[in-house]
Structure 1
Amino acid sequence: MTEHYWTTRSQPLTRTPDPEPFVQELEQLRRQHQLILNAVGEGIYGLDLDGNVTFVNPAAAAMIDWSVDELIGKSMHAVLHHSHPDGSRYLREECPIYRAFQDGSTQRVTNEVFWRKDGTSFPVEYISTPMHDEDGHLVGAVVTFRDITQRRWAEEILQRANEELELKVLERTAKLRQVNHQLRELSEMRSRFIALVCHEFRNPLNNIALSVSSLKRYDTQLSLAEKNDYLFAINANVERMTKIVDDILVIGKIEAKVLEVAPTPLDLVIFCQDLLAEHEFHRLESPIQFVCRSRKLLAATDQRLLRSVLSNLLSNAIRYTPDDKPIYLKLAKRQNQIIIKVQDEGIGIPCEDKHQLFEPFHRGRNVSNIPGTGLGLSIVKQFVDLQQGTLKVVSKIDKGTTFTVRLPLKPMSQGPTLGPESLDMAK
């Protein structure tokens, strides 16, 4: 180190420091600051009071695809903050960054975008901090920002996941409510079923017990014809109980989805005529009238399913129609459909019962003491559906009821076919 000395007559000898070490120290400090700026991953740039760039670190330049040299002296608002996310103009006077050197306040923003050189944008969060000199005068601002694209992406994924989770919770809650509702309905149905079965079995069992008791007690006093009447009554009550059991088993098989359809070619005219010739459909005062314009009508259908459908509809018509009132079985063909109608002039169906008409164990409010289980129409509806058909009912109180069954001439291929043992019970 070189020292300089000089003297005067009136002053003692002094020495002045060499400025070179301070310059070196200042340069070293500047290099350290530059290294720090270069190493920081966040974007950092400085602005003067006019909003022009005084320094910028490489991370900031890289994020907006400009070089550091190109940015020095430029208006940073015009470079990267000129527009809103929707592309509309962002006025400099409204920019939070410039408030830092207008009123000396620190501004933190998390919901804006910066723009790259190629015209694309990316979401950012930034802090604009005012800069003061040694005398406390405001000289500019320092802006620190970061690209939050990945964080926004993660937040959106999390938001979607939360929404999906919330939706699944709502769906699961709705399903649980539906299951609870179904369980309540099943419980109510089971209660109705138990009460109905007890009632329906009690009457025939009482009749059987009474007939057996009478045969035993008056065996020697009864004529052969009277004994046959008792035996006929016993047999009828047994058949009634068997029909109840068979209907219940068929409903169970339908709900278990083990019933199947086997359509085969069938002459429906002969089929209907043979059905009406059976004993259970005889009416002495007003026989069931068969109406069909065709002498022969062929269709591919399941004979046993169709027999169960028509048997239940005709039995209901007989049960709820006075003996002197007519009942019609009508058969027709229109386009690719078979149309079968069972029409009567019986007691009719109340309007309030129509929406539950095909539910198991449901019976109309006006059936009074007419025997029945409420299973027949449920079976009819299920069997028509299995054959890809439709079932419609029109009814007026004390005027009569018409059931219309529409079946395709050639049904589409089904899955499995209905087992004989199941269909025998549905006859």
Structure 2
Amino acid sequence: MALLAHQLKTPLSTINALAQGLMRRADRLSTNDIRGRAEKIWRASLRLDELIETIMSYTRASAGGIVLNPSEFNPDDLIRRICREQGNQEPERPFHLDIQDLPDFIVGDPILLEQAFVIILSNAMKYSPPDQPIGIAARTEEDMIRITVVDKGIGVSERDLPFLMQPFFRGQNAKNLPGTGLGLSLAWHILKLHGGGLDIESEEGRGTSVTITLPETNITGFSYTI
């Protein structure tokens, strides 16, 4: 709880300080200054919203409260839209997409799968320098879709790698970076509900590769508890 409180307090403090500065100095700030501070407030609010959503989703998952609402959707469109939206948060970062031969439609819960993919992609962005590229590759193999996200970030030590999907666990080299340690556990849970999986390969100081596996069709879902 102390970790969660600290993570929530950080963006709140940023929003508070910037908003007070705007109120005190509004008549002396240029349009560019106001725009820049407003953007920082917006980004801090996005971070806060992400933290709250992750905590709420994890709470539902740990209580068995996440239920699939399956429908048909186009996986190519979903992947490209998420990459575009995440890329808008860091316009200078290169995204390399390599998406080939995906089916026109698969069956699953697109909202939950989007949440899982956003967690993985935002981790790749968070733990790598903003000028370093992120690669996203997607293929179909034996009725399974494989989506791999590769970054050139801080990576994970061999010692920490087996524990990454445990709730609240954070690697030693990520202790000073924002995060709750819940994201990967939640993403793993969502993919297990779909009959899929999550695999991580990493080397400290050289980057991380995260692979999502997902069946083309899953209507009933599976039961997994975090």
- Report the TM-score when normalising by structure 1: 0.49
Q: Which residue of 1 aligns with 2:204?
A: 397
Q: State how far apart, in whole Å, the 2-side matches of 1:407 and 1:304 are.
A: 14
Going from structure 1 to structure 2, the CA distance change for 1:325 and 1:237 (only over 3 Å counts) comes to closer
Q: Which residue of 2 aligns with 1:314?
A: 121
* Offset from partner CA, 1:312-363 (integer Å, 9 cap, x none): 1110001111223221111100112111111111111112222221122221
Q: State how far apart, in whole Å, the 1-side matches of 2:140 and 2:55 are.
A: 33
The alignment of Structure 1 onto Structure 2 pairs a total of residues equal to: 222
Q: Does 2:45 align with 1:254?
A: no
Q: Is the 8 A contact 1:350 1:364 kept in 2?
A: yes
Q: Is the 8 A contact 1:247 1:375 kept in 2?
A: yes
Q: Is the 8 A contact 1:260 1:415 kept in 2?
A: no
Q: Equivalences for 1:336-375 in 2 at 5 Å?
A: 336-375=143-182
Q: Equivalences for 1:3-402 in 2 at 5 Å?
A: 194-278=1-85, 280-282=86-88, 283-294=90-101, 296-402=103-209
Secondary structure of the corresponding residue to residue 277 of structure 1: helix
Secondary structure of the corresponding residue to residue 172 of structure 2: coil
Extract unaligned runs of 5+ from structure 1: 1-193, 417-427
Q: Which has the higher contact order (CA 8 A, sep 6+)?
A: 2
Going from structure 1 to structure 2, the CA distance change for 1:295 and 1:239 (only over 3 Å counts) comes to closer
Greater shift in the superposed pair: 396-405 or 364-373: 364-373
Q: State how far apart, in whole Å, the 1-side matches of 2:93 and 2:18 are.
A: 30
Shift of 1:281: 2.4
Q: Is the 8 A contact 1:281 1:314 kept in 2?
A: no
Q: State how far apart, in whole Å, the 2-side matches of 1:213 and 1:285 are.
A: 29
Q: State how far apart, in whole Å, the 2-side matches of 1:352 and 1:297 are.
A: 40
Shift of 1:412: 5.6
- Report the TM-score when normalising by structure 2: 0.89
Q: Is the 8 A contact 2:170 2:181 kept in 1?
A: yes
* Offset from partner CA, 1:20-41 (integer Å, 9 cap, x none): xxxxxxxxxxxxxxxxxxxxxx
* Offset from partner CA, 1:33-73 (integer Å, 9 cap, x none): xxxxxxxxxxxxxxxxxxxxxxxxxxxxxxxxxxxxxxxxx
Q: Is the 8 A contact 1:267 1:297 kept in 2?
A: yes
* Offset from partner CA, 1:188-220 (integer Å, 9 cap, x none): xxxxxx221232123222222221221232222
Q: Is the 8 A contact 2:120 2:149 kept in 1?
A: yes
2:19 alignment partner AA: V
Secondary structure of the corresponding residue to residue 317 of structure 1: helix
Q: State how far apart, in whole Å, the 2-side matches of 1:202 and 1:253 are.
A: 22
Q: State how far apart, in whole Å, the 2-side matches of 1:407 and 1:309 are.
A: 12
Q: State how far apart, in whole Å, the 1-side matches of 2:76 and 2:48 are.
A: 32
Extract unaligned runs of 5+ from structure 2: none
